[in-house]
Amino acid sequence: MNPERERALIADSARGDQRAFADLVRLMAPDLIRGLTRILRDADRAEEISQLAFLRAWRNLDRLRDPRSFRMWLWQIARCAAFDALRRRFRPGDEVGVLDELPAEALAVDAPGIGEELARRELAEEALRELQVLPDEALELLRLRYEQELSYREMAERLGLTVTQVKARLARCRAALRVRLERIAAEWRRLDAERS
């Protein structure tokens, strides 16, 4: 979209022009839904969350200080709503359902015994719990880099940060995750050694 046209639509929307806001929704929804689908891994849920984000944006347009940052502001609203949805989806005790979404290779072993399979499932559940306790920002950085495979520059643009800030924050996320998962990895290695 032409940046001048986008700014005009945002300005008109901020003055209460519903038609202008509807045009913004039509123009921005596909990109927003695509980004949310990458986070949620569910296109239908992503569409629902995008509608919620647009509704929240419409209701709070008076809080937007700089119309040039509308896209980033809308993305932040959508992102927060998506993480809220994920938190509700992955409540403690729901981890077993999450295992069904893991690739088969993640739990596959050559004819494991029932005890070993249960131990592997418990470790997988524990790894998922460790991921869930990371702050939303850390989860988002990891998803943008490893699920969406964005470059540092693309991540910086999406998050409104510098490339240096993205690299530093991602390094901290990796370090925190490494510490949290080190014990679990050692236990996986022990189980593999017992199987051999």
| pLDDT the model gives residue 173 | 83
User: Does 110 share its domain with 195?
Assistant: yes
Of 37, 60, 89, the last residue of a domain is 89
Q: How many domains does the chain have?
A: 2
User: Does 53 share its domain with 109?
Assistant: no
Q: Mind listing the pLDDT tens digit for each residue in 8-44?
A: 898 888 888 889 989 989 999 998 998 888 888 888 8
Q: Mind listing the pLDDT tens digit for each residue in 40-52?
A: 888 888 899 999 9
- Flag whether 83 is in a domain: yes
- Flag whether 189 is in a domain: yes
User: Does 77 share its domain with 133?
Assistant: no
Q: Averaged over 40-65, what is the pLDDT?
A: 87
The pTM of the full predicted model, rounded to 2 decimals, is 0.50
| pLDDT the model gives residue 163 | 94
User: Domain range holding 158?
Assistant: 101-196
Of 39, 69, 89, the last residue of a domain is 89
User: Does 105 share its domain with 15?
Assistant: no
Q: What is the DSSP string of 9-51?
A: HHHHHHTT-HHHHHHHHHHHHHHHHHHHHHHHS-HHHHHHHHH
